[in-house]
Amino acid sequence: LGRAIDASIYSPELIARKHGSQPFKALRRSLEILGALGGFALKLGIDQKQGNLEKNMKKRAIELRRIFTRLGPTFVKLGQGLSTRPDLCPPDYLEELAELQDALPTFPDAEAFACIERELDLSLETIFSSVSPEPIAAASLGQVYKAQLRYSGQVVAVKVQRPGIEEAIGLDFYLIRGVGKLINKYVDFITTDVLTLIDEFACRVYQELNYVQEAQNARRFKKLYADKADVLVPDIFWDYTSRKVLTMEWVEGTKLNEQLAIESQGLKVLDLVNTGIQCSLRQLLEYGFFHADPHPGNLLATPDGKLAFLDFGMMSETPEEARFAIIGHVVHLVNRDYEAMARDYYALKFLSPDVDVTPIIPALRDFFDDALNYTVSELNFKTLVDGLGAVFYQYPFNVPPYYALILRSLTVLEGLALYADPNFKVLAASYPYFAKRLLTDPNPYLRDALIELLFKDGKFRWNRLENLLQQGSKDRDFSAKDALQPVLKLLLDPNGEELRLLVIKEAVRVSEAIALGTVVDTYNSLPEFLRSLVFNGNGNGPLTMSTAELQSTLELRDQVSRIWGLLQSSESFDPAILQPILQVLQQPEARRLGGRVAGGVGQRLAARFLQQLLRA
């Protein structure tokens, strides 16, 4: 931390003061950028006029990648961001810009080694017994060497920052902010505050320039998420880390987009992608601290089948309120409750409170009614992103930076999976996590979302509960114990009278279904002559019910039986989990609730019995 005390932070005022006093330098750089991008824009215009836009797309994508590389680190970072945005770039551009992750020219090794000695105040020979003579990889902000620590023999990766990069990035952002001001002032059809987006992006890039901050990010990430056996996060060597030098554990592995190399080791890309999705969901929705740059170069498959995360320079956080609102948003999507979906955008900070959501509801309905011809689990994530993007573009949405980074993370993971399985759906892989959270999380917001999902028009939707349990049980952290107790506590809450009325009504229905089902099963088990003797030859069986009513009653009994079976099949199921539930049921409110259910069941069965007598 002492070595990073003079690390720069992004300040629009400071860079304006610094570079505004150097007009000739700024003018020279402006001409360089305009010359490169202006020529490219002119070629695109000619292609469009001649009808060759599609034909020349691959060629132009290669040109843009080379232009960004030539313009330096700021534009490489910009290109890296665009390479994970299929909603903004055609596939040919995505493919080419993805190569910016690694394909960067290196700077002289002598400068890198001098930087290490200057930053750590030690000679290279004192620290390392060996260092690779040239970089193993070159990133946008630095380059990486493979080395061996002298004191322990530990193999490490040493990342060294490019010389003069802070000066170059500061000047570029000064010029880009100038363009942003013009867009905000004169371009009416762009409703988003462009300056805010530029400042957010610049702030993240400046954070990446401080390697001590990156090391702290790695330590926090490891503490939160490396508790799972299939996730690996490298250790940091703090004695050999500073503002411009980062030393961490060396990880042997294969990039996640190298499918053949991964499968040749007996590993499956889809298993690794599923690990990435589950870890990403925990990052986004459990703790809120997430890796915002999960491109293939930062995700490695280790020989023992673990997924290794690298490069913790670009991290972001999901606000707590937004985490629960996102899960609630998924519930509203499943229910096709577009009015509630529109209101979610207030909690997600997409809309200011004074914006009327009424005109937005039909746009959501038009898109999702078409998209949800498939089930939610079959919905392609990119389709979802593209559709929502069209809605966001039409109305005064201001998408927070964290949300764009979430979309980017999940879109990248789905893209990697699609190489291995063209039918892969990230939403299908995510649904078990959402189901588990809804069933087990005691947070009041999620408890309300669960009730909203399970009850409709005063009726309990047993099929929804069965589906949630089926999906939730696919999550390895699902616990039947956690799924039962929070629901009971909510049911017995002093303010839960409205819910209790619904539950009493449903409990009476279920109890009656079980009792009548037992009667039917007993009747069916009797020999034919005994049935005729006992029921006076009644061909309709023991109950005077219509076939449809009887079938519905038996279906309810069977569905409840299946749900109980799902709970029992949970790896964490133990009959002992019923003990605390029984303790809860000893509470006065629970006893009153049980009495009301028993009374209701008695009334229904008595009415059935009387109905039988009268019809007989």
- Catalytically annotated residues: 293
Beta pairing class for 245-249 and 231-232: unpaired
Which region, left, alpha or beta, applies to residue 446 given φ > 0 means left and ψ of -120 to 50 means alpha? Answer: alpha
Quick one: which of 192, 559, 533 has its CA closest to 350?
192
Distances (CA, A) of 392 to 197, 332, 367, 407: 16, 18, 12, 14
Q: What is the DSSP letter of 7?
A: -
Strands 307-309 and 315-317: unpaired
Q: Are 180 and 195 in contact (CB under 8 A)?
A: yes
3, containing H or E segment: none
| DSSP conformational letter for 283 | I
Q: Report the length, in residues, of the chain.
A: 616
Q: Which residues pair with 149 in a beta bridge?
A: 128
Tokens linked to 2: 């002492």
- Half-sphere exposure of residue 21: CA atoms within 13 angstroms, side-chain side: 5
Phi then psi for residue 233, to 5 deg, are -130, 125
CA atoms of 297 and 311, how far apart (whole Å): 9
Q: Which long-range contacts (CB under 8 A, 24 or more apart) does 309-313 make?
A: 309/221, 309/225, 309/231, 309/232, 309/233, 309/279, 310/234, 310/251, 311/139, 311/214, 312/214, 312/215, 312/217, 312/218, 312/221, 313/141, 313/207, 313/208, 313/213, 313/214, 313/217
Residue from 426, 73, 490 nearest 276 by CA: 426
How far apart, in whole angstroms, are the C-alpha atoms of residue 468 and residue 595?
29
Strand (E) or helix (H) holding 419: helix 401-420
Pair type for strands 245-249 and 142-149: unpaired
Q: Which residues contact 507 (CB under 8 A, 6 or more apart)?
A: 597, 600, 601
